[in-house]
A and B are shown apart, each in its own frame.
Chain A
Amino acid sequence: MKVLDFSDVITAWPLFISGFFMTCFLTLASCLLGTLLGTLCAWVRLQGPSLLKLIVAAYVELFRNTPFIIQIFFIFFGLASAGFKMGAIVASLVALTLNLGAYACEIVRAGIQATPKGQVEAAQSLALNRWQIFTRVMVAPGLARVWPALVSQLVIMMLATSVCSQISAEEISYSANFVAGKTFRSFESFMVVTACYLVIAIFFRKLLLWVGPRFIFGRMKF
């Protein structure tokens, strides 16, 4: 048996392609939803009603202090036993979004809290309403400030999608595991997915760093 033989892995290329797209889909969808959820939670923690503040604080602590695999098992197996059934992909999306939401909440909150008080007072004196002040004067520069940190977190989330293979979501790690299990070419198939993850991560990071200043918070200088 040759040490490296990619023929079995190459034959299975349709599996890797469909896995690749599933990974991209899970990543994009959960990052979008997770960042929105995180921003919403950041608002609650800063300005929300006190009962909601408590709930969000509990949620953030719960999700930041438990392993992701336990969370996804809880959502997929645990909630299903309780009669709350979700498919593997929906359960993956829910788990990824909730996990990212908790981390993004803290990152975005840090960015918002760094907004100088004078800036908010200036906005108030210009008669901007609360919504305008929060979105334009607090969130936008806040996001700009923490964007590199948030992008890192989003890339970590992309890598975490690999865990979804454990609940039979057919993303790219699932493809690799499947091919490895069938052909016993573990090393080769994992080399292929490693390369895929590396490529996705590099492009994803570049994309986010490009998209951020152009479409999300605008170019800013501090």
Chain B
Amino acid sequence: MNRRFSVLSVVGIACAVLTFNAFAADEALTNILARKTIRVAVPQDYPPYGFVGTDMAPKGYDIEMAGIIATKLGVKLELVPVTGPNRVAYLQTQKADLTISSLGKTAEREKVIDYSVAYAPFFDAIFGSKEVPAKTFAELTGKTISVTRGSMQDEELQRLAPGALIKRFEDNNATLAAFLSGQTQMFATGTAVAAAIKQKNPNQSLELKVILANAPCYVGVPKGEAKLLARVNQIILEAKKTGVLDEISQRWLGAPAGVLPE
């Protein structure tokens, strides 16, 4: 093979890859049922949604939801631990069949994955110690705020409080550690997550500063998997109707699930 030919073939392959459009075959549900296992991406650093209990077993709202879906499908549940920034990538690269990881809806995410109906309430907010006052977005200007990279809060903060000094971390633990160690003045997370943190660190002076958004959680489904999406929606709606969802919500969040968008 001469040199020119090999160069041409490399260019050819590159072009082929570039123009190739990935399309979903809508076979995910069939594959899951054939495999008899469903791989669900869940958080492990996000109490009360997904965390590791004292018995080292994962538990929380998201994990229970994953359990319900697996039971209804009649397959074995395999939990895939993910962090905030990589939960969508796991779904995109088929390392998980579903992601149930307190995932909020954004326009960017909707371009690459599909969403089920909402399964859990979630409120994003900024928290900080009592010594640093702030009640409005304008008052966040110049304050250092730690946030998990690529999360809903990251996007909302950039939009709502452009003057804030945002420090981005890899997962919720690091975001929290940055605040607790005094590296940032405030941090952004869910209200229920902050309540769980407060319970664990009762001495920490922690209070809610500003609510960012009402951002309920959805199950993430790979793009184009209509059958799987329909089945997941059906399971969630059923759980809602029979009161199972309210029961889970009561257990983990201390309040019923309330009205969730469908």
Contacts and interface: CB of A to CB of B under 8 A. Distances in A.
A221 interface: no
B17 interface: yes
B161 to A, nearest CB: 17
A207 B124 CA distance: 49
B5 interface: no
Residue among A4, A184, A186 with the highest chain B CB neighbour number at 10 A: A184
A16 interface: no
B11 interface: no
A1 B150 CA distance: 20
Contacts of B170: 165-166, 177
A182 to B, nearest CB: 6
Interface stretch (B173-181, B192-200, B247-255): B173-181
A168 B108 contact: no
A199 B74 CA distance: 52
A186 B21 contact: no
Interface in A163-184: 165-168, 174, 177-178, 180-184
B112 interface: yes
Contacts of A83: 182
Interface of B: 17-22, 85, 88-89, 92, 108-109, 111-112, 146, 149-150, 154-155, 167-170, 174, 177-178, 180-183, 223
B169 A3 contact: no
Contacts, number: 75
B18 A81 contact: no
A166 B112 contact: no
Given A174-B168, A184-B112, A2 B85 contact: no
A175 to B, nearest CB: 11
8 contacts: A1-B22, A81-B181, A85-B182, A88-B167, A168-B168, A181-B85, A181-B149, A184-B92
A157 B202 CA distance: 40
B141 to A, nearest CB: 19
Interface in A59-92: 76-78, 80-81, 83, 85, 88
A192 B206 CA distance: 40
A2 B150 contact: no
Contact of B169 (A78, A81, A166): A166
The listed residue with most B CB atoms (<10 A of its CB), out of A3, A78, A85, is: A3
